Amino acid sequence: MRSNSARRWLIRGRVQGVGFRYFAQKSAASLGLSGYTRNLDDGRVEVYAVGPEEKLSEMAGLLHTGPRWAEVRGVEEQEVSVQQYGSFRIEP
4 is catalytic: no
Q: Which of 8, 21, 38, 89 is catalytic?
A: 21
39 is catalytic: yes
Q: Which of 8, 12, 39, 89 is catalytic?
A: 39
* Residue 90, C-beta contacts closer than 8 angstroms, at least 6 positions apart: 21, 22, 24, 25, 36, 37, 38
Helix (H) or strand (E) holding 48: strand 45-51
Supply the residues annotated as catalytic: 21, 39
